Amino acid sequence: MKHPLDRAPGTEARAILALADGSIFPGHGIGATGHTTGEVVFNTAMTGYQEILTDPSYMRQVVTLTYPHIGNTGVNPEDGESSNGPAARVHAAGLVIKDLPLLASNFRATQALSDYLKAQGVVAIAGIDTRKLTRILRSKGAQNGAIAVGLSADETVALARGFEGLGGMDLAKVASVRERYEWRATEWRLGAGHGVQDAPRFHVVAYDFGIKANILRMLAQRGCRVTVVPAQTGAAEVLALAPDGVFLSNGPGDPAPCDYAIAASRDIIERGVPTFGICLGHQIMALASGAQTVKMKFGHHGANHPVQDLASGRVMITSQNHGFAVDAATLPANCRVTHVSLFDGSLQGFERTDRPAFCFQGHPEASPGPHDLGTLFDRFISLMEASHA
């Protein structure tokens, strides 16, 4: 009898991964049939594939995982990161891996990765030389690509070249929730699962540009009642909710065309409301402060990127997922750099010197990844406390 976490060997369809430069990688399909396109990026995290697939920031990106064995721990109903609708919903446009194990084994697993990808309609490919692929992406930069089951190599290359690219693409409003909602679930604990915040000290309004659930859980854990609002909510509507603080979320796509979010954030920050931004939210805060963003060559996607906190000199190991960055040279005088990447010297965080506002480019909420920067959430709480005093 087939165990729900087993996979029958030799049953996969032939599939092709093609890059816009014409590179072809034959493999086998481990997800839905059909085809998909997107920007092909590589992520160096050794695990956390369920959180990565469900992170809305990966919308229109085909994720290559450089760790060779993916799927070993199956998937479970609790580790999804998409807060908008079912947490288990996959947002990545596709998945590229080296090897899918025949057997998944974990006490929390309820489904095999392959069955999950099929159920979610996600096209995915295994048997790929991900080291070769990653060397191409590192030397030439992130590229548009396609995965296809049942198409020729030429047809798959044509699909890859047909993807319009993420530059200039406004996806925050696409990933965002349509209706405002309240969030109270706290962080997951072994044996207890998620708790509920029923005695909140603060009210946070969180802009949903594609927000990850663990950000909301970490805010709730620290005593916040969170009202999550759609990406295009105006500043007046947010201020009318009388928030103690405003949060600008992570999200997919290019931050520069998100003019609605840039304008609203500018108004809210100028009003002196404590504001915290993560990843796309950090980029939006920079644009709202007058700085500029740029597209990176291949971005940062992984779970062990060293980042230095300039005030203390301490080096933090961080979770990262971004393909755009704030150009530090364009930061105005009222922005002070707080964090720098030790991989490439790029800007990782800044604070406003004239307003209670700060932001971080990586992912302090982890999921997946290390927890070194959880203290940034405590800093946001301190800003809200200070504004009450």
Ligand X SMILES: NC(=O)CC[C@H](N)C(=O)O
- Residues making up the annotated binding site for L-glutamine are 57, 251, 253, 280, 283, 321, 323-324
Residue from 38, 74, 323, 369 in contact with ligand X (CB under 6 A): 323
Minimum Å gap between C-beta 280 and ligand X is 4
Considering beta carbons, is residue 83 or 321 the nearer one to ligand X?
A: 321
Per DSSP, 310 falls in state: T
Considering beta carbons, is residue 156 or 346 the nearer one to ligand X?
A: 346
- Catalytic residue check, 279: yes
Considering beta carbons, is residue 25 or 380 the nearer one to ligand X?
A: 380
Of 11-19, 188-196, 229-237, 315-323, the window that binds ligand X (rule: CB under 6 A) is 315-323
- Catalytic residue check, 81: no
Name the active-site residue from 258, 279, 335, 359: 279
How far is Cα 155 from Cα 158, in angstroms, rounded to an integer?
5
Per DSSP, 272 falls in state: T
Q: Which amino acid does the sequence have at 331? A: L
Minimum Å gap between C-beta 254 and ligand X is 7
Q: What is the chain's Cα-based Rg?
A: 21
* Residue 321, both tokens: 């997922």
How far is Cα 328 from Cα 350, in angstroms, rounded to an integer?
9
Residue from 83, 214, 321, 341 in contact with ligand X (CB under 6 A): 321
Binding residues: 57, 251, 253, 280, 283, 321, 323-324
Partnered with residue 39 across adjacent β-strands are 61, 144
Q: Is 183 helix (H, G, I), strand (E, B) or coil?
A: strand
Considering beta carbons, is residue 251 or 302 the nearer one to ligand X?
A: 251
| Segment 92 to 111, residues that bind ligand X, using CB under 6 A | none
Residue from 247, 324, 358, 377 in contact with ligand X (CB under 6 A): 324
Residue from 305, 322, 352, 355 in contact with ligand X (CB under 6 A): 322
Of 92-100, 132-140, 182-190, 321-329, the window that binds ligand X (rule: CB under 6 A) is 321-329
> Read out DSSP for 338-374?
EEEETTT--EEEEEESSSSEEEESS-TT-SSS--TTT
Closest CA to 325 of 342, 305, 301, 300: 300
Residue from 124, 235, 279, 381 in contact with ligand X (CB under 6 A): 279
Contact present, 340 and 348 (Cβ < 8 Å): yes
Q: Which amino acid does the sequence have at 135? A: R
Residue from 280, 291, 357, 381 in contact with ligand X (CB under 6 A): 280
Q: How many residues bind ligand X (CB under 6 A)?
A: 11
How far is Cα 345 from Cα 281, in angstroms, rounded to an integer?
20
* Residue 76, both tokens: 């479970």
Minimum Å gap between C-beta 44 and ligand X is 15
How far is Cα 265 from Cα 46, in angstroms, rounded to an integer?
35
Considering beta carbons, is residue 27 or 362 the nearer one to ligand X?
A: 362
| Segment 39 to 68, residues that bind ligand X, using CB under 6 A | 57
Cα 139 to the chain's mean position, in Å?
Answer: 23
Phi and psi dihedrals of 131, rounded to 5? Answer: -70, -45
| Segment 239 to 278, residues that bind ligand X, using CB under 6 A | 250-253
Phi and psi dihedrals of 59, rounded to 5? Answer: -55, 135
Considering beta carbons, is residue 40 or 112 the nearer one to ligand X?
A: 40
Minimum Å gap between C-beta 181 and ligand X is 20
Of 68-76, 96-104, 198-206, 317-325, the window that binds ligand X (rule: CB under 6 A) is 317-325
How far is Cα 92 from Cα 145, in angstroms, rounded to an integer?
13
- Catalytic residue check, 388: no
Contact present, 190 and 200 (Cβ < 8 Å): no
Q: For binding to ligand X (CB under 6 A), which residues are involved?
A: 57, 250-253, 279-280, 321-324
Residues with catalytic roles: 279, 363, 365
